[in-house]
Amino acid sequence: MNKVLADYKKELEQELENILTYWVDNTMDEEYGGFIGRIDNDNKVIPGSPKGSVLNARILWSFSAAYNKTKNALYLEMAAIAYRYVSTYFIDEEYGGVYWTVDHEGKPLDTKKQVYASAFTIYAFSEFYKATKDEEVLAEARKLYHLLVEKSYDTRHTGYLEAFTRDWQPIADLRLSAKDANEKKSMNTHLHVLEAYTTLYTVWPDEGLRIQIEVLLRNFIDYIIEAETKHLILFFDEEWNAKSDTVSYGHDIEATWLLLEAAEAIHHAELIEQIKFLCVQIAEAALEGLDKDGGLWYEYEPAQSHLVKEKHWWPQAEAMVGFYNTYQITGDEKWLQLSTRSWDFVKQHILDTKNGEWFWGIYADGRVMATEDKAGLWKCPYHNSRACLEVMRRLNRD
């Protein structure tokens, strides 16, 4: 391994420890259990904040995956705390599935069934099972999987419908967040259902699950990857008609490596080759969002020729992995340089060297997005710890 790669690996090993140390030291809820619902950019706890299923599942995944890599006993202890909280407070024992939020005391708050939240819980439980080999954990993951197939899978058009009421009836507001389009299907949910199913398949190689993964991959190939531009289409109606033209550069580059990981997990040779070819095209398309300083812009709205001039933390993390993945596919040093440059941008602009963790992002003039969370419903240790773990794993392999 040359010095550039050796330094990259060493720095990411240290950064993984830094990220997780922040979550150990700052986010434990000593009064009500589990983890604090929200911490602002200045590391101030916002009392009484709701606790999100996505945040808690991502905490569980991050500590489980870090333990599986490092065997650090503290990480397993943290994962166990997260698992107990999720399984006790977020799982709906009456109707099945996962609440979107609970209040600061753990009482159900927003009880809608967002498929995205169930996907992250499957993902987290599967990773925790790798760490513990606890059959009860795997049984919970499989139960959530079967429920999603039963309640959300579109048997007519394929794909997954976005959201339901607590008792799995149709719901008027399908959105993950206020900024999203209120449509029946989304790229984001399908990407993370695929990620969850891929991880579950590594511990439970069920034939029905394999078929679901293959169908999801073909959904991306046939509908979600825009044929001409190679950007991902973000929203669809039930019949897979496109309902948006916004470009999300972070999701473009994130999809490149998650799609290939899924195809490789099910050992589908034809899909692996097809997706490798597509991944390079998508990575090239994502470069349209790369600024001269190495940072990846957030979104572009073609209809208004409007670039959202913000550089959020998570697209930079995904760029580190996605560009390295493209380097592994092509052997072209350009992509390796882009990966290390993304990390250089993170070190220069996104790491909070004073208070720890990563800032939400910066504006075009370099100012930190100081009104955003350090920890919250969407600000989790997932994208950044996963980037460290993924690039470290690939560097070890190379």
How buried is 296 (Cβ within 10 angstroms: 0-12 exposed, 13-18 middle, 19+ buried)? Answer: buried
Of 328, 334, 295, the closest CA to residue 395 belongs to: 328
Give the contacts of 214 (CB within 8 A, at least 6 positions apart): 266, 268, 271
User: What pLDDT, on a 0 to 100 scale, did the predictor assign at position 397?
Assistant: 84
Helix (H, G, I), strand (E, B) or coil at 362: strand
Rounded Cα distance, 133 and 47, in Å: 36
Enter the pTM of the model: 0.98
pLDDT at 398: 74
Q: DSSP assignment, residue 175?
A: -
Domain ranges of the chain: 3-397
Exposure string of 26-64, with b = 16+ CB inside 10 Å and e = fewer, is: bbebeebebbbbbbbbeeeeeeebbbbbbbbbbbbbbbb
In sequence order, which residues have a C-beta less than 8 Å from that of residue 129 and are 6 or more positions away?
A: 137, 138, 141, 203
DSSP-assigned states of every residue in 99-138: -SEE-TTS-EEE--EEHHHHHHHHHHHHHHHHHH--HHHH
Q: CB neighbours (10 Å) of residue 202?
A: 13
* pLDDT string in tens for the chain (398-residue length): 799 999 999 999 999 999 999 999 999 999 999 999 999 999 999 999 999 999 999 999 999 999 999 999 999 999 999 999 999 999 999 999 999 999 999 999 999 999 999 999 999 999 999 999 999 999 999 999 999 999 999 999 999 999 999 999 999 999 999 999 999 999 999 999 999 999 999 999 999 999 999 999 999 999 999 999 999 999 999 999 999 999 999 999 999 999 999 999 999 999 999 999 999 999 999 999 999 999 999 999 999 999 999 999 999 999 999 999 999 999 999 999 999 999 999 999 999 999 999 999 999 999 999 999 999 999 999 999 999 999 999 999 87
Domain 3-397 has CATH 1.50.10.10: yes
- Whole-angstrom Cα distance, residue 329 to residue 327? 5
Give the amino acid at 150. E
